[in-house]
Amino acid sequence: MKIQFSVDGQPLSKSNNLNFGKGRAFIPAKYKDYESRIREAARDVFHGDPIVGPVKMTIQLWFKDRRIRDCQNYPKTICDALNDIVYLDDSQIVELYVTKLKRDEPGLDVTVEALEPDDRYPLKRQS
C-alpha cells in the first residue's frame, strides 16, 4: 500500500516554531495550521484504517530559494501530523528519505509506503 499527497506553501519546521516560556513550550498558530493542512491532505487520499506495521516515508521539501536550512528538522512536523491517520504512531517509520529542492512554488510531497514485517522490521516494539 502506498499513499502520496502534497501540501502547498512554505514547509515549516517544528524545532523552529517552538517558543519556550515559564517552563512550557508554546506552538504558534501558523504551525498548528500547517500541521492541520498536512492531516487534511493525507485524509483526502487515505480513507482506510491506519497502517499497523513498519512504514517507509519519502519527503520532498520544496523551497523558493536556496537559503541554508537543516532538512532534518522538517520531518518531525510531518511525521507527527500523520499519527492516527496514515499509521498508528510515527515510531513505525523504519525508513525515512528527505530531499530539499528548489522551485518557484514552495510545498512538500509525501509518500508513505507500508512494508512487510520481517526480522529487520518487527511488527511490535521490543520490551
CA–CA separation, 57 and 79 (whole Å) = 9
Number of structural domains the chain divides into: 1
- Within-domain flag for 45: yes
55-63 β-sheet, strand order: 2-8, 107-114, 55-63, 93-102
Range of 20's domain?
A: 2-114
pLDDT tens sequence across 42-53: 999 999 999 999
- Within-domain flag for 86: yes
The pLDDT assigned to 75 comes to 94
Sites in the chain below the pLDDT cut of 70? 15-27, 121-127
- Within-domain flag for 123: no
The pLDDT assigned to 126 comes to 45
CA–CA separation, 104 and 100 (whole Å) = 14
The pLDDT assigned to 118 comes to 74
Residue type, 116: E
The pLDDT assigned to 19 comes to 53
Residue 27: give its domain's CATH number: 3.30.1330.70
CA–CA separation, 77 and 35 (whole Å) = 7
